[in-house]
Amino acid sequence: MPGEASPAEWFRCRRLVEFRDTDAAGIAHFSAFFFWMESAEHALLRQCGLKVVDHAPEDAEELRQEHSVANDTEELEVSWPRVSVSADYQAAVRFGEELDVAVAVADLGHASVTYGFRFERAGQLVATGKVVAVRCLMRRGQKPLPAKIPAGVAARLEPHRLPASAFSASSA
């Protein structure tokens, strides 16, 4: 119906298993899936109009106040360090095969985003993954400081937020 929000959905991209992604037997090395998850996450962020590293965050004034950034000329940098990553593998993929990588938002916390991933080859599930990233204020010489996800950022991610049932191995 006109005016209704479209249902949340997976963001999809395709990856070719390249020689560098494989082990000596030509099977994709487990670590390649972590690079593919990061690449798909970054593509999702770009589609949502968000930056992986943002030097002009929409909540700059709030960040300055919350984190006592007294110098108004200090450039702010917000990024998304990972605090947890995991993958489960169901089938091998080989050099030259194409993978469909799907990513969706599994959870939006105060300062964190949990992404769920599905890897499929010709419609067959070959792996699933999970990444938890925390929005942080990055300041030279200091440890990253968790920063609240502003409403505008959450609103851009919301169209890709799916219920927990979407992340089971049997769902599409």
**Residue 154 region, left (φ>0) first, then alpha (ψ -120 to 50), else beta?**
alpha
Q: Is residue 73 part of a domain?
A: yes
Domain limits at 130?
12-163
Instruction: Choose among 126, 104, 108: nearest CA to 116.
Output: 104
* C-alpha–C-alpha distance, residues 121 and 17, integer Å: 11
pLDDT for res 2: 41
145-168 burial, b at 16+ Cβ within 10 Å, e below that, comes to bbbebbeebeeebebbbbeeebbe
pLDDT for res 4: 41
105 φ, ψ to 5°?
A: -85, 120
Q: Is residue 136 part of a domain?
A: yes
pLDDT for res 27: 96
* Positions in the chain short of pLDDT 70: 1-7, 70, 72-73, 169-172
pLDDT for res 75: 82
Q: Is residue 1 part of a domain?
A: no
One-letter amino acid for residue 44 of the chain: L
CATH number where 45 lies: 3.10.129.10
User: How do residues 54-65 score in pLDDT, each as one tens digit?
Assistant: 999 999 888 988
Cα-Cα-Cα-Cα torsion 34, 148, 52, 47, nearest 10 degrees, comes to: 90
pLDDT for res 69: 78
CA atoms within 13 A on the CB side of 21: 19
97 and 27 Cβ atoms separated by less than 8 Å: no
* C-alpha–C-alpha distance, residues 149 and 18, integer Å: 35
Q: Is residue 148 part of a domain?
A: yes
User: How do residues 26-55 score in pLDDT, each as one tens digit?
Assistant: 999 999 999 999 999 999 999 999 999 999
Q: Is residue 5 part of a domain?
A: no
Q: Is residue 113 part of a domain?
A: yes
158 φ, ψ to 5°?
A: -55, -40
* C-alpha–C-alpha distance, residues 115 and 39, integer Å: 12
User: Does the model's pTM come out above 0.85?
Assistant: yes
Q: How many CB atoms lie within 10 A of CB 68?
A: 6
Count how many domains the chain has.
Answer: 1
